[in-house]
Structures are given as structure tokens and as C-alpha cells.
């Protein structure tokens, strides 16, 4: 069955450092992959989308890579700030363009001042 | 970005009663909306795809008679939890999309006593 794995352990880093979060998947060939931010008690907020034919995408302090051979995406936040503390979810979308997403369990990031 | 709203944000009901949750796309039309459920410290689990003007498509293991979905207009989908029980207590989130990026509502916290 399709499986998405994100590091379930919380990631604690110092302010100013780069945070790197990992998303691995098996038994799936997504057409695109998305990263979301979720704060406690709130709905997810869209951050970045990367397609299967793209290797890397950037948006301000965010960078996402997508390796379809390794079946892995890395999500980087550079110059991290305490306000970046949240849970980050990766989600896979299929080629059928139904809009359906399969979510990982999320990784909680804590940026300490 | 696009805005999706949900109402109510929080509801407490007694076991055996029904609860209706509304999901609205505020600045775009959505022929398809998605309903998710999220238990504490777990990922979002897709419950069903809401299709405007036709029947919803339910994921495996989701009872369609218990979770009634109505998508009567291009901007509104409703989820009714019928005969709610304490195990239905969860965080319910809807999403919609004007393109590939999914936009999520703020979520509805349902507590069944």
C-alpha cells in the first residue's frame, strides 16, 4: 500500500540555522508533491508545490527538492526564526488530477531563540 | 491565495445527535471539495470527495450513511455527522482548490459527549 514517512520526532534547532525536513514515500508515483504548514488547532496552509519533472523549487526562505528515484523530498527553511515553529506536512498528488492528496504524519519543528 | 472558511469552528454535542459542518470557498468556485479528519498528533485522513451536483465519493472504511455530504452549490459543501458518538470526536477539515494547490479551511473541532 502507499506509504508516506516523515520524521515523527520533533526537530529542534537554533534560530538562524537551516532546518531540513524529510519526506519519503513508497508504492506511489506522484505527479506532484506539496508541503504544508499546520499550527495547533488550525487547518494546513499551503507552502510549495513541486512537480515530478522538477528537481528543486524555492520561495523566499523555503527550498524543496524532489528526487523521484530516491522517492524522497527534502524541505529546507533557511535562516530559521521562532515564528517558523509549527508542524510541516508533505502531501502527494496523483496524475489523475482529481486533487486528492495523501498526507504524511508531519514533522514538528521547534526553533529556539 | 484562495480562502476557504468553515463553520462552526468548534461544536460540542450529545451522543446520538447530528451535527452539520459547512465549508465555503469565498473567492472562487469549487466543483470539488475534500473532507478530512485528523486525530491528535496524527495525519490528515481523507474521508470523502464532495462533488457539486452529484454524489460524494467516499474513501474505503468511511460510512456514507454516517457522514452525509451535500455539495449543492459551487461554493458550499456540508458534512453532517449523523448519530454522533464519542469516537467521532475529532478535527474535521475541508479543502478546495481553484488549481492544483489545495486551500484548507480552519477546521472544526467536534466533541461528542
Answer yes or no: are the C-beta atoms of B86 and B106 closer than 8 Å: no
Beta carbons of B100 and A105 less than 8 Å apart: no
Q: What is the pLDDT of residue A3?
A: 86
Q: What is the pLDDT of residue B41?
A: 83
C-alpha distances in angstroms, B31 versus A88, A103, B25, B74? Answer: 28, 22, 10, 6
Residues of A in Cβ contact (< 8 Å) with B34: 99-101
pLDDT digits (tens, 9 = 90+) for B58-80: 999 999 999 999 998 999 999 99
Residue with cell 505527479: A31
Residues of B in Cβ contact (< 8 Å) with A99: 32, 34, 49, 97, 100, 102
Interface residue of A7, A33, A34, A44 to substitute, partner B, most B CBs within 10 Å: A44
Strand-pair partners of A65: A56, A74
Strand-pair partners of A23: A6, A73
Q: What is the mean pLDDT of chain A?
A: 93
Q: What is the pLDDT of residue A95?
A: 63
Instruction: Using pLDDT thresholds of 50, 70 and 90, give the confidence band for residue A96.
Output: low
What percent of chain A stands above pLDDT 90? Answer: 81
pLDDT digits (tens, 9 = 90+) for A8-32: 789 999 999 999 999 999 988 888 9
Q: What phi-psi label fits residue B98: left (phi over 0), alpha (psi between -120 and 50 degrees) or beta? A: alpha
The phi and psi torsions of B22 (rounded to 5 degrees) equal -105, 145
- What's the whole-number mean pLDDT along residues B76-90? 97
Instruction: Using pLDDT thresholds of 50, 70 and 90, give the confidence band for residue B47.
Output: very high
pLDDT digits (tens, 9 = 90+) for A26-67: 988 888 999 999 999 999 999 999 999 999 999 999 999 999
Answer yes or no: are the C-beta atoms of B21 and B70 closer than 8 Å: no
CA distance B16 to chain A (A): 25
Count of A-B CB contacts under 8 Å: 55
Q: Strands, E, within A1-113: which ranges?
A: 3-6, 11-14, 19-26, 32-38, 45-51, 56-59, 62-67, 72-77, 86-93, 101-103, 107-112
- What's the whole-number mean pLDDT along residues B28-57? 92
- What's the whole-number mean pLDDT along residues A72-83? 97
> Which of B92, B61, B88 is closest to B79 using CA atoms?
B92
CA distance B2 to chain A (A): 10
Residue B100 has pLDDT above 80, yes or no: no
Nearest to B43 among A43, A97, A103 (CB): A103
**Chain B residues contacting A, CB < 8 Å?**
1, 4, 6, 32, 34, 42-46, 49, 91, 93, 95, 97, 100-107, 109
Residues of A in Cβ contact (< 8 Å) with B106: 42-43
Residue A7 has pLDDT above 70, yes or no: yes
Q: What is the mean pLDDT of chain B?
A: 94
Residue A97 has pLDDT above 80, yes or no: no
Residues of A in Cβ contact (< 8 Å) with B95: 43
Amino acid at each position: 500500500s502507499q506509504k508516506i514517512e516523515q520524521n515523527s520526532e520533533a526537530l529542534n534547532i537554533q534560530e538562524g540555522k537551516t532546518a531540513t525536513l524529510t519526506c519519503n514515500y513508497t508504492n506511489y508515483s506522484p505527479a506532484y508533491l506539496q508541503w504544508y504548514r499546520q499550527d495547533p488547532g488550525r487547518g494546513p496552509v499551503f507552502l510549495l508545490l513541486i512537480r515530478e519533472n522538477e528537481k528543486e523549487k524555492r520561495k523566499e526562505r523555503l527550498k524543496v527538492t524532489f528526487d523521484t528515484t530516491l522517492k524522497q523530498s527534502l524541505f529546507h527553511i533557511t535562516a530559521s526564526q521562532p515564528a517558523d515553529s509549527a508542524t510541516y506536512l508533505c502531501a502527494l498528488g496523483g496524475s489523475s488530477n482529481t486533487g486528492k492528496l495523501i498526507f504524511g504524519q508531519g514533522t514538528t519543528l521547534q526553533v529556539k531563540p | 491565495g484562495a480562502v476557504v472558511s468553515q463553520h462552526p469552528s468548534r461544536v460540542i454535542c450529545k451522543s446520538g445527535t447530528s451535527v452539520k459542518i459547512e465549508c465555503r470557498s469565498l473567492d472562487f468556485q469549487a466543483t470539488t471539495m475534500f473532507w478530512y479528519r485528523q486525530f491528535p498528533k496524527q495525519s490528515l485522513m481523507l474521508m470523502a470527495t464532495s462533488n457539486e451536483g452529484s454524489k460524494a465519493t467516499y474513501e474505503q472504511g468511511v460510512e456514507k450513511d454516517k457522514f452525509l455530504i451535500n455539495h449543492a452549490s459551487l461554493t458550499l459543501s456540508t458534512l453532517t455527522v449523523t448519530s454522533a458518538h464519542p469516537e467521532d470526536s475529532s478535527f474535521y477539515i475541508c479543502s478546495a482548490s481553484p488549481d492544483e494547490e489545495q486551500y484548507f479551511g480552519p477546521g472544526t473541532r467536534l466533541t461528542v459527549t
